Every structure is written in C-alpha cells, then in structure tokens.
C-alpha cells in the first residue's frame, strides 16, 4: 500500500502556471498526496500571475515568497533564501519544479542539499545554447533531480548523454497541453478578446517577443522591430508586451515605433491569450511554450531565435525556426500567406493526461 507523502509544487513565473495547474488538479484526486503550493513571486502583477490563477482555477498558494524581480543572481538567491526558510517551517518529501526559470533551479538546489527528492517536469529539453539563462537552469536542475519527467522521447537521449540513469527518466507527455486541451473550448466560449480588439479569425498575426537576446540592447530591439515590420507588411499584428520588454523599449525610445506597426497591448490572461493564438493566421514568437501550443492548435509558428529546445515542434508541428534575420521572417510569412504547407502531427502522449501520469509515478515510487 502506498503511504501518504507530502508534495511541494513550485510556481514562480507566468510559464509555470499553465504547467502546475493540471498537476495540482491531478494530485487533489489522489488520497496519498498531501499537496502544498508555493508561489515564489518571480512574476507577481495581475497580468503575469493573479489572472492566470483565476483562469486556470489554481488554488490560492499555501505560501507566497514574494521574491520579486532582479538580476538572475539576485532573484535566484532570494528564491533560495526564502524557500530554505519555508522548508524549515514545512518539511516535505518531494519538491516538484517545472520548466526552466530561476525559481526552478533555486528551489531544486535548496531541496537537494536538504536531502529532499526533486521532481523536474519538462526535463531533458536542450537548445545547445548556453548563452540562454534558461539552458543553464535546465541542465543544472536535471543534474540534481530524482524524477525527470520528459515531454518527448528525444529528451531522454539528452539526459542519458549527460549521465542521468535511465531509471530516473519518465516519458509522460506535456502538461502544457493538458491545460490547453482542458481550456480550449472554455476560451472559445468565454473569451471576448477578438471583439475587444476588433479582430477577425485568421486575419491577424499574434506576436510575443521578450527574450533578452531580442530586447536587451538597442541593436537587438531594432532588429526585433524590423521583424515585426516584416510581419505587419502582410497582416495586422497583435503584440502583448511583457512588462520587462516594455521598459526596455521605452529606455531605447522604440516603444512608439512598435506601436506604429502593431497593436501593442498588456499581457493577457490565459483564456484570452489562448483564444488569440487559436484564431491567429500565424504566430511570431521567441517563446518555447507557444511553439508547443501552436503545434497542437495547428497554427503556423515562426520562432525568432537561432535554435529551439523543443525540436519536436519542428519535426511534428507547425514551427519554423527562422533565426534572427528579419528578412527570413518576411520570406516565411510570404510562404505561409501564399499557401506554403504545414502538416502538423500531435506528438506522442500530448493527449491531456501527462499530469495524471506524473502523480501516479510519484505516488507509486514513495516507499511504504
């Protein structure tokens, strides 16, 4: 008989919330699990946090660490200090972290140094680009984890090549897609975003560009602006803008130039953003999660990066990695608009049940 065990789930930034929601809902159905939700506060305003909790029916966190923003070093250190104190007050058997943000690595390091088991959801994804802070977070988190839950089979090859024992690796599917499948019909019924922005389905492009490599210097931001202009030559562009990106564009005096080429709006809640993606003619992004979502939605996706840690979205989905040359964006947009073929396939186990598999494995592996 499986004993009861305590599971502490970590959520820190906007990409995490879509991933922890189905895990929390699945854990609540298993009597053996005592669940505790910790919000580190890496993303903390309404658009980046609270609205997602409401849309996804995530319960109020048991603890909010309120670490706020800062450099990667400062933010990770704050997460570690605050979470270490939280474990003094509330010991746990397993700490579950998702994705690749600073909270993921910070909480994993604190747990493993205390002898607490670590479960990493989305393990084994690799871009091969160590200039990306997320890549460092992924590699280090995987090295200290006891359970490595993968979204695609190739991720296991990456982990084994880095010396991870095979018995720690579990292919379970994609929790982001659990959330998408649960909420797609709800978004179609409830979201009014298209009406609010006077958009017609398939007559606009959705765009998200927020990574430091695309906005952190004036030269990078000007290159990104040109990519948006290439897109705007053919379609109306809707650009929900990350607060950090907004601040950078204001610093460089480029925010008005973006507004001249796109409908720049504040970040959207989950249901509105899902509706925006679902009805778009195409998407231009530098987000890994959006590459996955558009793969399942069947919406053409152009990734404005030199690489992707999610190659299955290219081999099976609608994603094209177009690099950082805006001219390549223009050429890809033209190809899509003139009938270039996208023939997406839903990747294996992207079926809406990944979270159930994760909770089942954790429950079965806890010693009686």
Exposure on the CB side of residue 254, measured as CA atoms within 13 A:
23
| Gap between the Cα atoms of 27 and 355, Å rounded | 8
Residues involved in catalysis: 210
For residues 167 and 184, give the distance between their C-alpha atoms in angstroms, rounded to a whole number.
35
Distance (Å, whole) CA 46 – CA 268: 10
C-alpha span between 204 and 198 (Å, rounded) = 10
Rounded distance, CA 360 to CA 292, Å? Answer: 24
* Strand 169-171 with 319-321, pairing: unpaired
On whether the CB atoms of residues 291 and 319 are closer than 8 A, the answer is: yes
Q: Whole-angstrom Cα distance, residue 172 to residue 175?
A: 9
Distances 171 to 147, 285, 297 between C-alpha atoms, Å: 11, 27, 22
Q: Which of 283, 305, 310, 307 is nearest to 294 (CA)?
A: 283
Question: Angle at the Cα of 218 (from 217 to 220), degrees rounded to 5?
Answer: 65
Phi, psi for residue 11 in degrees, rounded to 5: -130, 135
Task: Quickly list DSSP for 295-349.
Answer: HHHT--EEE-SS--S-THHHHTSSEEE-TT-HHHHHHHHHHHHTT------PPTT
């Amino acid at each position: 008989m499986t004993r009861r065990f305590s599971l502490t789930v970590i959520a820190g930034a906007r990409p995490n919330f879509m991933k922890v929601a189905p895990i929390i809902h699945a854990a609540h159905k298993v009597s053996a699990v005592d669940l505790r939700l910790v919000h580190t506060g890496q993303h903390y305003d309404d658009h980046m946090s609270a609205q997602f909790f409401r849309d996804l029916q995530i319960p109020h966190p048991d603890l909010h660490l309120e670490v706020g923003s800062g450099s990667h070093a400062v933010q990770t250190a704050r997460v570690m200090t605050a979470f270490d104190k939280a474990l003094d007050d509330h010991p746990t058997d397993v700490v579950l972290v998702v994705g690749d943000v600073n909270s993921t690595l910070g909480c994993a390091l604190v747990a493993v140094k205390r002898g607490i088991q670590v479960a990493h959801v989305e393990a084994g994804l690799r871009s091969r680009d160590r200039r990306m802070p997320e890549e460092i977070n992924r590699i280090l988190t995987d090295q200290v984890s006891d359970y490595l839950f993968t979204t695609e089979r190739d991720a296991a090859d990456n982990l084994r090549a880095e010396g991870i024992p095979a018995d720690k690796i579990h292919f379970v599917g994609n929790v982001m897609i659990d959330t998408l499948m649960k909420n797609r019909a709800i978004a179609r019924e409830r979201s009014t975003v298209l009406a609010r922005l006077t958009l017609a389905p398939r007559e606009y492009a959705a765009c998200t560009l927020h990574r430091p490599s695309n906005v952190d210097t004036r030269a990078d931001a000007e290159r990104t602006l040109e990519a948006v202009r290439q897109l705007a030559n053919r379609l109306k562009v809707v650009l929900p803008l990350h607060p950090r990106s907004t601040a950078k564009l204001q610093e460089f005096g480029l925010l008005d130039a973006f507004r001249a080429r796109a409908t720049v709006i504040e970040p959207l809640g989950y249901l509105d953003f899902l509706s925006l993606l679902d009805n778009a003619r195409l998407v231009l992004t530098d987000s890994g999660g959006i590459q996955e979502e558009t793969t399942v939605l069947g919406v053409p996706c152009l990734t404005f990066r030199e690489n992707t840690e999610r190659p299955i979205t290219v081999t099976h989905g609608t994603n094209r990695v177009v690099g950082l040359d805006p001219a390549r964006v223009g050429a890809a947009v033209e190809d899509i608009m003139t009938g270039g073929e996208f023939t997406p396939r839903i990747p294996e186990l992207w079926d809406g049940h990944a979270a159930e598999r994760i909770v089942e494995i954790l429950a079965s592996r806890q010693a009686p």
